[in-house]
Chain A
Amino acid sequence: MIEIDRELLNAGDQALLAIMILIIMFGMGASLTPRDFSDALRRPKGVIIGFLSQFGLMPLIALGLALLLRLPPPQAIALIMVGCLPGGTTSNMFAYFARGSVALSISMTAASTVLALIMMPLLLDLYASGFAKQIDEAMLAEGAETGFVIPHINIVISLFLVLLPVGGGMILRRFSPGWAKTAEDTAGFMAVIVILFLLGSVAIRHGALFVVTPWTLYAGAITLSLAGFAFGFGFAALWRVEPRQQRAISLETGIQNGPIAFAVILLSFEEPLRSQMLWLPILYSTSVVITSSLVTLRFRKTGAADDAIFRNNRVHRRLFGETFRTAYPPSVIPRNLKRFHESLRRD
């Protein structure tokens, strides 16, 4: 177990972090409209597959990694918690650059954010209670008066609290799209700042932590996103959704809403557990920027051909009428589109 002698973040840092999370979640809301939620219902296939991937695969991957890497219980719980998070807004941006379906990405983010209220406590109970029991026993053995149980109620309450600014952002969007745009952009910038801020404050006060952190923790944080991308992609391909949706689902699965983890840990857990748990989402949030950038670059290449066809078809329908069907020579159809092409032509 890693020893963290003082609080990882002091009261001031925590207050700042809380404000940043507020801004990020508000900006996330400002990027959403009620339409995005209803759209999620209108394209159920992609969203359902995304849902299964996000709340079915990802927590399992996290659990598997925690067991495989023999993570200490607090970090194991933190890893599983990261695995159970809803998708983050940055996934929409990465989906855009990865030639994925941005609409699906937004729908999945919207749907998973709401569903997280139910799914997160449920999944934590399912996968993390074993680790919680270990902590409980250890604490009792050390002579603590009370043991440890996962604070379900607190988690639900803190999730509600985090979602409040999202609602606020949506209301702003309804009345002032201009300001909502600014809020959205600010949040995007803040998402980067928050990571730098956390890394910075840890480096200043707990510089040694970078060195004493066991490799398994780094491996867990990095592998979680990479495995999420890989399994998400494979899972979506298995269900034969379009390549653009496969890429969106892959990114959505691997990219989690880190700030929610910070908020839940800050609001629901006591010291010293709080500090021990916080480190992992910080590592995850840092590494996911890099892993998702790399995956995005890869998708840009592999998806160029099918995306070009998608866009060309879209322009053709826009300019030549909705009923226009573009007939390509067979050799032009990329392999990942082959089985869709026939069906695309028929519909």
Chain B
Amino acid sequence: MEPLRATGRHLAELYGHAAELFGDLPAFASRKEALSWEPVSFRELYERGLCLATALIDLGVEAREHVGLLGDNRFEWILADYGVQLCGAADVPRGRDVTDQEIAYILEHAEVRVSFVETRQLLKRIEPLREKLPQLRILILLEPVDDAPAGVLRLADLLGRGAELRARGDRRAEERIAGIRGEDLFTLIYTSGTTGVPKGVMLTHANMIAQMNNIRMDIRCTDRVLSILPIWHVYERVFEVLSISRGCCTYYTNPRHLAEDLANVEPTFMGSAPRLWENLHQRILKRAREAHPVRRALFHTAYFLAHHYKESVFYLTRRHLFLKPVHPVAEAAGMVFHALRWFLLLPWYGFFNAAVLEKLRLVVGGQFRASVSGGGALPREVDQFFNYLGIPVLEGYGLTETSPVIAVRTEKKLVIGTVGILLPDTSVRIADLDTGKILYPDESAPHLGRGRQGEIEVKGPQVMRGYYKDKEGTDRAFHDGWFRTGDLGMITFNDCLRIVGRCKDTIVLSSGENLEPGPIEARLGQSNLIEHVMVVGQDRRFLTALIVPTQQAATEFDGKALHDALAQEIRERVSTAKGFKAYELIRDFRILPDNFSVGDELTNLQKLKRHVVAEKHRELIDSMYPHETGGSARKGGRR
């Protein structure tokens, strides 16, 4: 049975349709105590949204105006979003971890006149910036307070005002809704500044509605979604809207209460980052290590059986990683082998699945039907662990610029090592990094060019309209109308998208932090001890570096002394005192014996070929991350 879903030509219509369809079902729940949560129904939310929208119109918010929305996950955030959408405006969201500099830039660049601010603390940071932001007229505090600071409006007052106006017959919100067009922005999201200033990604109602129509996940109104990722990212946002459109209740949790809330809410669905799965993986392994030897043995037996059993199931259902064309005979032999293995393991797996694995699944609340992982690559070992355990982890891939989902695994096509199949209406092509030649789809190549690596380029209804007030940046982001993702990937032989790495220099840490290695390397390169340096850390928890010392350093120091001198140099040059952020600090490094050479590690223009260096020194890099499970081996969906 197809799940019941609300839809519309734009978000405001979708919100209204959801209120009609799901009425009194709880839409969002906020935690007061572990076992005391406050629900708000779809109808209530929509009605309060209309009141807020009316109040905003009354304050002078125009259709298509950009309204600031600064804060993290909480019910009032969604309410504010409803207010903004229902008055035909677009929001400019950002989390509390924003820097003052970014606030100033974003609010000015987006010409924000009215902004929601979550907390008083955040308000205090904005006050001194107001001098530089003459157009910023109105601030509205989201958190409930008894009395707001002077010159700041309270959300509750606006709701009251709106309700009063509507009671008197004010229907301006309805007029605004009727005027919304698909190509209007629903949000303007500023991405973390990868190079210099943040870029405002223009996402339209049509973008989001396309995501709603094309994401075929079986989420229905009997599901429970636990929300933990920052809501201002479009990845989390798409789940919030998906939950609204399917009538399921979203429960806001936070890292502090996650374990408790997993147990109490028994979520059936969750959008998550790889970090969560890595933590759960570690927790389960730790528990197994500390268990009674008999239980430990049972655990290992159970996982061993599950691994081999599920591997065969995946092969038989053609869900294995399919990177090369396979001869039919070899494939038939594989089929026979896996069918036999499946049959032999079935009874044993059945028993251990019931007796041991189910208890492990309870660690994650026990009711998970599936979970999506995105915002970074899921380490292969962790990926396998949960999928073999029987908790389907659907890894997805996308960027803010693609609102965000380009591809996501489905349960039917859950191929570990890939980010699944493309969404409907979405096309991907693979372009050669140097020449721009299209490698896939290529009529002249065998298998259309499947298995060839290159930059992933996307076309589809989810691709952004462009960067706000940045024609040049927008033009650079597109290649003959195809959006350039900056990620290196390929199409597998069972038509899944596989992410191989990055073609841009930007490093995305496993925490989700984006950073440019360039400035750090430039700073280190100024040292007369360092000839070449490459910063690494893609999908890792922290940065490290590979260093080629100068001739001078190599003769002056030897062995340990050289190491200490370089450590000293790194500490001094890349420090928070020198303006680097905490996550930009280099935590470890290795010295490379040989210099980089042009044509191998360097281009003719002396530019670093990062993937070559990373490939060549993979083991050396891995040795700097003893507690992590090979992030560099495979890189998956980032935001």
Q: Which residues of A contact B (CB under 8 A)?
A: 93, 97, 185, 188-189, 192, 293, 305, 308-309, 311-312, 315-316, 318-321, 324, 326-329, 331-332
Contacts and interface: CB of A to CB of B under 8 A. Distances in A.
A331 B4 contact: yes
Nearest to A327: B24
A312 B224 contact: yes
A346 to B, nearest CB: 16
Given A93-B354, A308-B222, A309-B222, A319 B29 contact: yes
13 contacts: A97-B354, A97-B358, A293-B350, A305-B222, A312-B224, A315-B264, A315-B265, A316-B26, A319-B251, A327-B24, A327-B25, A329-B22, A329-B23
Contacts of A309: 222
Contacts of B194: none
Interface in B1-26: 1, 4, 21-26
A311 to B, nearest CB: 7
B247 interface: yes
B445 interface: no
A319 B25 contact: no
Nearest to A189: B355
B236 interface: no
Interface size band for B: 20 to 34
A309 B222 CA distance: 6
The secondary structure that dominates the B interface is mixed
A320 B224 contact: no
B553 interface: no
A341 to B, nearest CB: 13
Interface string B257-274: 000000011101000000
A328 B266 contact: no
Chain A CB count within 10 A is highest, among B4, B266, B354, for: B354
Contacts of B23: 327, 329
B220 interface: yes
Contacts of B350: 293
A321 B139 CA distance: 35
Given A185-B355, A319-B37, A332 B220 contact: yes
Contacts of A329: 4, 21-23, 25, 221, 247
B466 to A, nearest CB: 39
B561 interface: no
Given A188-B355, A319-B36, A311 B367 contact: yes
Nearest to A185: B355
B619 to A, nearest CB: 42
B26 A326 contact: yes
Nearest to A308: B222
Contacts of A332: 4, 220-222
B351 A320 contact: no
B224 A315 contact: yes
Contacts of B224: 312, 315
B230 interface: no
B25 A326 contact: yes
A324 B249 CA distance: 14
B39 interface: yes
A271 B29 CA distance: 68
A344 to B, nearest CB: 14
Contact of B35 (A192, A312, A318): A318
B4 to A, nearest CB: 6
Nearest to A307: B222
Contacts of A293: 350
Contacts of A315: 224, 264-266
B223 interface: yes
A315 B15 CA distance: 25
Nearest to A191: B351
B25 A328 contact: yes
Closest 8 CB pairs of A and B: A308-B222, A319-B37, A327-B24, A312-B222, A320-B39, A309-B222, A315-B266, A332-B221
Nearest to B251: A319
A171 B25 CA distance: 46
Contacts of A312: 222-224
Contacts of B36: 319, 321
B30 to A, nearest CB: 10
A320 B26 contact: yes
Contacts of B35: 318-319
Nearest to B247: A329
A320 B37 contact: yes
A106 B264 CA distance: 23
Contacts of B37: 319-320
A326 B265 CA distance: 15
Nearest to B32: A319
A311 B367 CA distance: 9
A327 B224 CA distance: 15
User: Interface centre among B4, B26, B38, B268, by most A CB within 10 Å?
Assistant: B26
Contact of A308 (B22, B223, B358): B223
B344 to A, nearest CB: 15
Contacts of B22: 329
A90 to B, nearest CB: 9
A293 B348 CA distance: 13
Nearest to A196: B347
A321 B37 CA distance: 8
Given A308-B223, A315-B266, A326-B26, 20 more contacts: A97-B354, A189-B355, A308-B220, A309-B222, A312-B222, A312-B224, A318-B35, A319-B35, A319-B39, A319-B265, A320-B29, A320-B37, A321-B36, A326-B25, A327-B23, A329-B21, A329-B221, A331-B4, A332-B4, A332-B221
A305 to B, nearest CB: 8
B351 A192 contact: yes
Interface string B213-248: 000000011111000000000000000000000010
A321 B4 CA distance: 27
